[in-house]
Amino acid sequence: MRIKKVEITNFRNIKKASLEFSSGFNFITGLNAQGKTNLLEALYLFSLGRSFRTRKREEMIALGAIFLFLRMVVESDSGVEYILEIGVERDGRARVKVNGDKVKGFSSIIGLMPGVIFTPQDVAMVSGAPGERRTFLDYTASQISADFLESLKVYRRVLRQRNSQIKEMAMGRRGGEIMGALDRVLVDKAGELVKGRIMVLGEIRKKAAEMFRYVFTGGDELEMVYISSIKQTGGSYSELFLSSIEKTRDEEIRRGYTLKGPHCDDIGISIGGLDLRKYGSQGRKRLVAIVMKMAQASVIKEKKGESPVVLLDDIFAELDNNVSTRVKEFLSERYQNFITSPVEIAIRNRREIRNFTIHKGVITEQSDDVEDIGTGAKGLGED
């Protein structure tokens, strides 16, 4: 997939922009607080089905404006063009259209424009709480499989219902008449979720380890394992989950929520056998987060058969020169890339490069009449 064009009206500090992009590299440079991340946020809306920064859509509308509007022309790997449009109003109402036809809502477009984003906050995927890592797996699996996304939605809904049922029981208001029915759906969906996550992690793990080896030749191995809150002792996951729930029912009522299940699982990440979360340096954690995102892009491409658009927000901060050079080498040839940075980035690449600068939300494409863009625009040749 690639984004050919975008028209932006009133998106945060970007009042008006009409841009055409390269199918290779698009560099967006600008000082702090000029709108670089805002642009990526707008482009990524169609992948995530919502903003990656806020759950309040109206926050994305430019201050003082009453609506925002985005129109994108994207092209699939097979050459099919789609026109994607999003309008958001002050009351939070959103209208989404694909090729002129209204679609039901933001979440129904997840996966339509496969995308992978890396932002500085993504280091939390490595150093933060388990929820960050679960989200990473769930997002990857949802981009690949609509069935997984459906199971995830049902699991979350049933989990919420089940938790409120447990609270009612704890207060003596209910006797748990529907618990049996809820449990059956819960364990069934949980089985599908865990299966999907383990499959995705298996692929991510292989690719991430390979890339990590490439960056640190001869160094320690990067390892990832799925940590399940349900002990795997033979039998299907759903059966084990059900028997675990039955055993802990009284404790659940005492504590007021569902104690175990896919919503408590985690990924263990280690380098050379040492837990990265506890022992890793900041730069190393950041590198592993980048490597995980690169692996994610590769898995989406392979399993979905469509290349994701890759959006990299200030990716080189905190990486030393050697590591940056290596990362640039595998900054794939295979995807359309959008790369923001406060400083100009040197990169050697044969694919078309387009350079944009952004100042107070005004985006300007830099002309490339000084050197041949095929081998590197002015200041971009790397030696």
Ligand X SMILES: Nc1ncnc2c1ncn2[C@@H]1O[C@H](COP(=O)(O)OP(=O)(O)OP(=O)(O)O)[C@@H](O)[C@H]1O
Rule CB under 6 A: which residues touch ligand X? 12-13, 30, 32-38, 59, 61-63, 342
Of the two residues 36 and 354, which places its CB atom closer to Mg ion in the complex? 36
Q: Residue 264 to residues 73, 158, 258, 261, 318: CA-CA distances in angstroms?
A: 39, 15, 9, 6, 31
Q: 70 or 208, CB closer to ligand X? A: 70
Residues whose CB falls within 8 Å of the CB of residue 307, separated by 6 or more in sequence, listed in order: 1, 2, 77, 114, 297, 300, 301, 334, 335, 336
Q: Looking at the DSSP assignment, which residues form a beta bridge with residue 311?
A: 117, 338
Q: Which does 379 bind (CB under 5 to 8 A by kind): Mg ion, ligand X, none?
A: none
d(CA 205, CA 318): 24
Half-sphere exposure of 93 toward its Cβ, with a 13 Å CA cutoff?
Answer: 4
Size of the site for Mg ion (CB under 5 A): 2
For Mg ion, which is the closer residue by CB, 31 or 146? 31
62 binds, among Mg ion, ligand X, none (CB under 5 to 8 A by kind): ligand X
Nearest distance from C-beta of residue 42 to ligand X, angstroms: 10
Task: Tell me the C-alpha distance between 217 and 197, whole Å.
Answer: 29
Asked whether position 258 contacts Mg ion by CB under 5 A, the answer is no
DSSP string, 315-376: TTTT--HHHHHHHHHHS-SSS-EEEEESS------SS-EEEEEEETTEEEEPP--SS-TTT-
Nearest approach in angstroms of CB 33 to ligand X is 4
**Which of residues 59 and 275 has its CB atom nearest to ligand X in the complex?**
59
Q: How far is the CB of 347 from Mg ion (least distance, A)?
A: 19
305 or 342: CB nearest ligand X: 342
271 binds, among Mg ion, ligand X, none (CB under 5 to 8 A by kind): none
Binder of Mg ion out of 10, 37, 47, 336 (CB under 5 A)? 37
Binding residues for Mg ion, rule: CB under 5 A, are: 36-37
